Structure 1
């Protein structure tokens, strides 16, 4: 009858262990099962991590209830007799004391002053490798861990070892998946942050470009307005020069509007409209606008025109910007030079496109 009961208990415990997946569930199931069916008051599960025993769980019977504490503080030697721990680690064989008070000294084991009447420590071995051990004790009764109960525990131990190792691997896999998911999330966040930073940089560059391009016609507006005022404030106002200044102001205003239109098209990534223009006329207009700046910089500009005039298909505003940037950059680069020379060479392809 007792053997049939033990077989039923053993089968039920094995099935329960096989059904669990997570390490915590496996540990709780194992500890509860062993405490109940082995008749222990205290149980300890140790798992080897890198060859060192680590306390995975402690189970205690208190007021007819089983309390299970996972990964409690304290070294294994503080929770069980160190001599028993070392013996099982060395021999990989079970240690059983039916009456610890009399047998411990006979077998060279020290209980460390613990009030233990009977104990059992079963190694958990998987494929010849020690992965942990299960320690059980009873402080009230001797002969608790009978040969029949020890047989049951030793039969369940391999199943427990397999379940614990599988649960550990499953937990490691889940942790790795979580780490990868977190790494992917962090990578997406970093990319988003980089995109935002690039966007802010692009906006800053664009704002600088807008200020640079708009400054050209605005400077021309101010220069022409000052020239017109000078012509008006002369003792004999020269209305023809004033009219010329006003016409230049009108052209500069239109050029500013055209630049804004071109910048809008650039932002919208629209193609720039092309129209027939004379290359030399565009250059002359830019040189006229820059004449005050060139004079203030002490730069003498000599234009040597080539044979004929070149009519091309181009965007006038963008072409003016090219000439303007080339000349102003060259003037700035020559600021510290003693001999300041600037040479502009223009060429066109055979189809008339610059």
Structure 2
């Protein structure tokens, strides 16, 4: 039984293009399945999370990260009586718009796109599911429900342009076609997907950072949350081997975050007593969040990761290297659009302004995997295969 404030699939606002209802899947289950079977979702296998995709078999990619986020979202939403299928769909889609090389690639592409309306990976995810996936006979995109589109657009909170600013292009484009009520908070399911993202990357960045050797367990003993977790493991399992000790401690960190979110949500939901999903959207703040004490402790951990992992000297060297790849590819495709693959030629032919051409080039570059971007750069600039070189970690 779903809570009264959960999104009910039978009460969905529907799809932009009317379709026959499935006889065995709810509307949100169908959204989830379409996301999983999309080309953009498959490409996440070879897109970086924090480390270059070919660096090692044990590091997270955007695909494994998205699966971990979906698992956390299902757990939390299930405990709270929310729609687990909708939360999972939003979680699985939240990173579809990421460029190759993670936030490093996004920063480079955003700079290049600044004269043409900018670039934002959240907005690009919406563009992918509404336009760029082209597999269905009757429409472009995946024709997701309004609730899934809303969750992708504003799972991190209301999206309102500041004074003198404009909404990200892809977001404005989708919102003009179907009002996503960007000024309000999203559903509780979307809020769960957002916090699940925070939980997943906070946990696995610690794990991947340890495996990379950028810091060690002794460093984490000095931090809040992680320090007590290692102490608890040492008290219960003295002399435990290194890898088991690490896993036992970090899964306690993981559990602490999940339990904290559930406890806070129960308190806030009891106090607010929402009776519908609309009551959730009308609230003046999120209902799904960390407690203030844990939030402050996690800030200390993120500050540590920023210094020791995301901005380590070897990381910065790698950031510069992969930034060059994006900065070289984009102007090349702008000046020589005929070098784009055949399936992009029709779009290029319809691009009657530099802005439209830039958006097509950005769509193509953003869709590249790490491996493909490196290989294309090597081919087009005859620099040798960069994937054969040892890659270093780089920041979020």
Normalised to the residue count of structure 1, the TM-score between the two structures is 0.20
Give 1 or 2: higher helix fraction: 2
Normalised to the residue count of structure 2, the TM-score between the two structures is 0.18
Which protein has the larger Cα radius of gyration, Structure 1 or Structure 2? 1
Give 1 or 2: higher strand fraction: 1
Greater relative contact order (Cα 8 A, min sep 6): structure 1 or 2? 2
